[in-house]
Amino acid sequence: MRPLRCQGCGREVPGDTPAPFRCPAAGDGGDHVLGRVLDRGAGFPSDGESNPFIRYRALTHAHALAEVRGLSDAAFVALVRDLDAAVARVDGRGFVETPFGQSDALSEALGFQGASGVLVKDETGNVSGSHKGRHLMGLAILLEVHARTGLARAPWPRLAIASCGNAALAAAVLARAWGRPLDVFIPPGANPAVVERLRVLQAAVHVCHRQPGVPGDPCTHAFRRAVEQGALPFCCQGSECGLAVEGGETLAWEMVSALVRRPRSIDRLFVQVGGGALASACVQGFGEAVRLGVPVALPRLHPVQTRGAFPLRRAWELVAARIAARLRISPEAGDAALAAAIARDRQAIDEELAWASAHRARFMWPWESEPRSIAHGILDDETYDWLAVVRGTLESGGWPLVVSEERLREAHALGRRAGFRADPTGTAGLAGLLELRAARGIGPAESAAVLFTGAER
């Protein structure tokens, strides 16, 4: 089978390595995210199966590993169905394709014309009320393949995750359904309803307080200590568990399938960014569909962060400035002109991102103050999957957006009036669209897509 490859340093790891979560070179000061290499002979699956982990299984590392280790395709499908049924017993629903289509209410409110409009990928009805379960279900399937083919350690270690809300709930649902012990590291300000649900799901909850003079998220620090002591990283950060991105790609593949069915395209994709796993999954999912020959165009990517913390925007500016100097682009050029010029030079992008990957601390470091926002779910001190997201913006001609609290409230209210029950984090991508529209950076004839990712609780 194909090896796993680090997106940062390029190092390869055998595909049947037990628990292949991090690149062996991680910790050397560079950026490291271990991921699978796409098998271009797989082909892009057609519609027909509602469970995304069955429909798109041929694109996943878990399925390739099962095949190599002697687990038949029928046995793999049965494994997925069994785990999905267990999830449904715990959460009241299993994994199915989530809605993706044009919102006439949003399109009209924002003044889009003709065949253009605002498309919404609505994740509020997904398992545990957000997209996070997609990442973790993919990981659970992979680890179950390890267990059934003799690659897993015995006895089974505890699972661990650091989260303030949706990721923790998703991990707790999956762990409960799967029958695995889970440690959840949360901040003191976590939603009480979320904390209560975690306890009902029998997760071990650990509240982590910030320490004066210690940079970075205390929950992440505690999580890493647990992993060092033997826990498995059951999380969405690519830097801690690269293969968790794969499950999230099912969302992008569903969007691609829907666009091909219509057919239509989207010009811009707005994705709210905290740790970056969702945006990374969208970038890689669309990119892989294009490489497999699917007739769909890669939309311009606009990651969205808040003024409370925008480490991704900061990193993008540093990388873009290096490329601009190299290409002799005026530093006075606006984001749109700069992004368009950079997107035309793939060699410059590749070489500068390779340098940035090897010198991570010059581009990505913890936010200096404690982040605060009504969109609390995207207040990560670092964008852990920053490299893939920055690459996605540079190659697509997009750029990151930073929005105010007022814009976040506007987007949340607009989403509710349009009939969606997403929280302010979940509608933050729409806030980015509103911001670009206010700056006259998007035309009325363009089409845009947003993801509503977290149900209001």
Domains of the chain, each with CATH number or no CATH? 100-128+247-452 (3.40.50.1100)
DSSP 357: H
pLDDT score of 116 more than 90 = no
pLDDT score of 47 more than 80 = no
Contact 219, 190 (CB under 8 A): no
Q: E strand or H helix at 79, and its extent?
A: helix 73-91
pLDDT computed for residue 173 by the predictor = 97
pLDDT computed for residue 390 by the predictor = 97
> Cα–Cα distance between 243 and 245 in angstroms, integer?
5
* Cβ-proximal residues to 14 (8 Å cutoff; 6+ apart), any chain: 3, 4
The dihedral through the CA atoms of 68, 74, 78, 84 has a sign that is: positive
pLDDT score of 331 more than 90 = no
**What value does the mean pLDDT take over residues 80-99?**
97
DSSP 99: P
Instruction: Report the amino acid identity of residue 161.
Output: I
Q: What is the pLDDT of residues 149-172, one digit of tens each?
A: 998 876 778 999 998 789 999 999
* Cβ-proximal residues to 223 (8 Å cutoff; 6+ apart), any chain: 160, 161, 162, 185, 233, 235, 240
Q: Mean pLDDT score of the chain, rounded to an integer?
A: 93
pLDDT score of 42 more than 80 = no
Q: What confidence category does residue 37 fall into, taking pLDDT thresholds of 50, 70 and 90?
A: confident
φ, ψ of residue 68 to 5 degrees: the values are: -65, -35
- pTM value > 0.85: yes
DSSP 18: S
φ, ψ of residue 455 to 5 degrees: the values are: -70, 145
Instruction: Report the amino acid identity of residue 95.
Output: F
> Cα–Cα distance between 8 and 16 in angstroms, integer?
20
Q: What is the pLDDT of residues 396-420, one digit of tens each?
A: 999 999 999 999 999 999 999 999 9
In whole angstroms, how large is the CA radius of gyration of the chain? 21
Q: What confidence category does residue 439 fall into, taking pLDDT thresholds of 50, 70 and 90?
A: very high
pLDDT computed for residue 19 by the predictor = 78
Residue 40, number of CB atoms within 10 A of its CB: 10
Q: What confidence category does residue 298 fall into, taking pLDDT thresholds of 50, 70 and 90?
A: confident
- Buried/exposed code over 346-382 (b: 16+ C-beta within 10 A; e: otherwise): eebbeebbeebbeebeebbebbeeebebebbbbbbbb
pLDDT score of 40 more than 80 = no
CA atoms within 13 A on the CB side of 402: 13
Q: What is the pLDDT of residues 180-230, one digit of tens each?
A: 999 999 999 888 989 999 999 999 999 999 888 888 889 999 999 999 999
> Cα–Cα distance between 113 and 435 in angstroms, integer?
18
Greater pLDDT, 183 or 369: 183
pLDDT computed for residue 2 by the predictor = 85
pLDDT score of 143 more than 80 = yes
Q: What confidence category does residue 232 fall into, taking pLDDT thresholds of 50, 70 and 90?
A: very high
